């Protein structure tokens, strides 16, 4: 079947790609942006959170949590962000609500959670942490 420029056979292949797991991805820590502040340009790379972030096998965590994610629907927040937030919450004994403004203020929190560029907005709603904890059990 052919409708102008739209080829149904090609569209089936497009829909097959949608059946892949929808996992949020962390941005590349090495990709530059002319108009943004790269975290690696102004943080101390010997800071304990930077060193801890480099020791954690984030890709293994992503693979381990993949089974808890849907194959349809809106893409979720990156696994590194959500796991990183939960780790920071425990390390610094913070609540879901108090963690978020700390994350915005602290470039080390942002780096730990996989951000490459300094962010001026909340990473997610505090209720997303509740949903994530329920999802992973």
Which alpha helices (H) appear in 68-106, and where do they start and end? 79-91, 96-105
Q: Tens of pLDDT along 80-118?
A: 999 999 999 999 999 999 999 999 999 999 999 999 999
Q: What is the pLDDT of residue 8?
A: 44
Query: Residue 113: how many CB atoms within 10 A of its CB?
Result: 24
Cβ pair 116, 29 in contact under 8 A: yes
Q: What is the DSSP letter of 78?
A: B
Q: What is the pLDDT of residue 76?
A: 80
Residues 6+ apart with CB under 8 A from 22: 69, 70, 71, 72, 73, 74, 75, 76
Q: Tens of pLDDT along 3-16?
A: 444 444 444 444 44
Q: What is the pLDDT of residue 33?
A: 54
What does the alpha-carbon distance between residue 51 and residue 114 come to, in Å, rounded to a whole number? 13
List the chain domain ranges: 22-136
């Amino acid at each position: 079947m052919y409708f102008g420029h739209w080829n149904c056979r090609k569209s089936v292949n497009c829909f097959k790609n949608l059946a892949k797991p929808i996992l949020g991805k962390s941005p590349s820590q090495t990709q530059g942006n002319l108009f943004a502040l790269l975290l690696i340009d102004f943080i101390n790379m010997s800071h304990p959170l930077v060193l801890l972030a480099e020791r954690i096998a984030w890709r293994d965590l992503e693979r381990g949590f993949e089974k808890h994610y849907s194959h349809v629907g809106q893409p979720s927040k990156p696994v590194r962000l959500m796991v990183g937030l939960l780790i920071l919450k425990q390390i610094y004994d913070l609540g879901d609500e108090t963690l978020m403004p700390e994350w915005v203020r602290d470039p080390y929190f942002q780096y730990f959670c996989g951000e490459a560029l300094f962010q001026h907005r909340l990473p997610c709603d505090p209720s997303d942490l509740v949903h994530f904890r329920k999802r992973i059990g």
